Structure 1
Amino acid sequence: MDIKQERQGTTLKLALSGRMDAVTAPQFNTLLEKELDGVTELILDLAGLEYIASAGLHSLLIAQKRMKHLGEMKLIHVGDNVRDIFEMTGFSSFLTIESAE
């Protein structure tokens, strides 16, 4: 998985591409631990994310819980495959997923 980050003020945008699984999710977790200080808005751009496994879902759950205390987290550009996984697992009921325009 590749992660590109862009920070503007208190907004952190992370563009994820590839696969988020047991091998790559720790990379995401480590990045969040280092970069969330002072962040009130976390935007995850999932346009390039092809697949998310249970370890990736767990990482998103942790990120969501942390951001609930700091501000907000939203997911943008969620592809059909990943959106289907969110819907099947119930994650779509508590994650803020911006609809494609």
Structure 2
Amino acid sequence: MLEIGMEIQDDVLNVSLKGKLDGMTFTEFEEQLESKRDEAQKIVIDATGLEYVSSAGLRVIMSTELYMEKNNKERIKITNASDDIKEIIELCGFDQVIDME
């Protein structure tokens, strides 16, 4: 199960994730991101409650990052990720294109 919160404030789409971003939940996350990304210049994902991310979840984040880049928007920023989530992102090399805080 994944709880997704999204709020736009000052051209920033603030996203909060709680639970598992996996093969069962990535579609809903992708649909919600796609419905809001045009309204924002920047996306910040608060991963405080994110327990797990699968390759499907990473694909959603990367495809959104590519969209942001193509449309001259700021890089996605992921904040408050656990060490395990950071390690997964780094092992995939995604830390080279996504800001981590």
TM over 0.5: yes
Between 2-11 and 14-23, the greater mean CA deviation after superposition: 2-11
The aligned residue for residue 89 of structure 1 is 92
The aligned residue for residue 34 of structure 2 is 33
| Runs of 5+ consecutive residues of structure 1 not aligned to the other structure | none
The aligned residue for residue 64 of structure 2 is 63
Q: Runs of 4+ in structure 1 displaced over 6 angstroms? A: none
| Runs of 5+ consecutive residues of structure 2 not aligned to the other structure | none
Any idea what the Cα deviations from partners look like across 1:43-76, whole Å, max 9, x if unmatched? Answer: 1001110110010110111111111124122111
Separation of aligned partners in 1, 2:45 and 2:68:
12
User: Superposed, which structure 2 residues align to 1:5-16 within 5 Å?
Assistant: 5-16=6-17
Indicate conservation of the 8 Å contact 1:46/1:79, yes or no.
Answer: yes
CA RMSD of aligned residues (A): 1.1
Indicate conservation of the 8 Å contact 1:39/1:70, yes or no.
Answer: no
| Identity across the alignment (%) | 31
Count residues in correspondence: 98
The aligned residue for residue 19 of structure 2 is 18
**TM-score when normalising by structure 2:** 0.90
